[in-house]
Amino acid sequence: MKYKFLALTAIAALVAIPASSIAQNVPAEGSTIKGNLVIGRSTFALPPGEWKVVAVGSADTTSTGSRSDIAETASVRLVQLAANGTFIASIWTQAPLTSARAPGRWIDSTCDRKDLLHRDDFNVNPFFPECLVINHIVLFLANAPANAFERRAWDWFEKNSVKRPATVLSAFYRKYFSGDYVGVNVAVNPEFFGQEPSLKTAWTESEWHPLVIKNDPKRLAFVESFKKWSYVMAENAKSTLMDRKPKSALLPAFDELRVGSSKVRSITPTDGSSTSAELRLSELKALLDKGLITKEEFDEKRAAILKGL
C-alpha cells in the first residue's frame, strides 16, 4: 500500500517502540480497554468486550519532505480472546496525532486490487480517497514478521500460546481528508463463529477465495454478514475523521456474525450511495473553502448528493 501527497511525501517505517509524545496519546501496550480506543485527538468505537493492547507503534508523515513539516502517526493493534483463550478478532487502527500541512492529492493503492471478496471506493473526490476492502488472509501471523510493529503482535501471540486460524477475514477501511486520515483493519476468526476450519493455506486455493467461495453458501452468507458489519465500522471511522468521534458508542457485537444468528439482520448496511449525506456535504464544503475545487464543481457534486437522498 502506498499513500502520499502529490507534493513530495516521506513516510518513515512503522516502529514498535513509540516516542514519549506518542506514548502520551495512546493506551499503554499490555493494557486492557473497553468501549472505545483513543489515539490522540481521535476516538474510535470498538465492538463490545475487553480488548488487549498488544502493539503500539509510530511513524512520521510529511507533505513536503522537510523534517520541519511532520505529521506524527500512531498505530495500535488490539486483540480480543474468548474466555477459553480462543482468538476472536484483531483490530489495527492508525490515526495522525498532528495534521500534515499543504495537502495535495493523496494516492492510496488499497483499492487497486480487483480479486478481493469485496471492494468499494465510494466514488468520492479523487483528491481524498476513501476505500473499504474485504479480503481473506492466510497464515495470519503464523510466522515472525520482519516489521517491528507486527513482530510485537506476533510475540504476544507466541507468549500467550494463542492459536491462530489458518485463515482470517479482513476488512480494511481507509479515509483521507485534507491533511488527515484514518485507517482501521479488522481481522476476524471465522471458525469462532461456526465456520469450518480452512484446510488450504495457499491464498489462491483457500476455501475463502472469491472463485472458490461462490460454491459455498454457508461461507458466502458469513461474508455478507461481515460486509454489513464492516460498513458500520467504516461509517463510524469516517465520523471519527470528520468529527473526532464515532457515530455510535459501540460497534455491533461480533456475535451477530455467528452462523444462525438472527441479530445480524439488525445491522444497518450502508454503501457508497448511502453514506451519510451530511458528512459528504460538509466534506465537499471544506474542499471548496480550501480552494481545492471550483464553485461549479461544488454545485455539481452537491446536486448529485442531494439527488441520491
pLDDT tens by residue, 9-35: 334 445 544 444 556 788 999 999 999
- In sequence order, the β-bridge partners of residue 180 are 177
| Residue 163 and residue 250 in one domain | yes
pLDDT at 3: 37
- Chain mean position to CA 278: 22
- Quick check: 65 pLDDT over 50? no
Report the alpha-carbon distance of residue 234 to residue 68 in Å, rounded: 32
53 and 16 assigned to the same domain? yes
Does the pLDDT value for residue 110 go beyond 60? yes
Domain tally for the chain? Answer: 2
| Residue 32 shares a structural domain with residue 128 | yes
Judgement on whether residues 115 and 263 belong to the same structural domain of the protein: yes
Q: How far apart are CA 129 and CA 127, in angstroms?
A: 6
Q: Which three cell numbers stand for residue 116?
A: 478481493
Range of the domain at 154: 3-268
Statement to judge: residues 220 and 289 lie in one domain: no
pLDDT digits (tens, 9 = 90+) for 130-173: 999 999 999 999 999 998 889 999 999 999 999 999 999 999 99
Check whether 192 has a pLDDT greater than 80. yes
The pLDDT, as a whole number, for residue 272 is 41
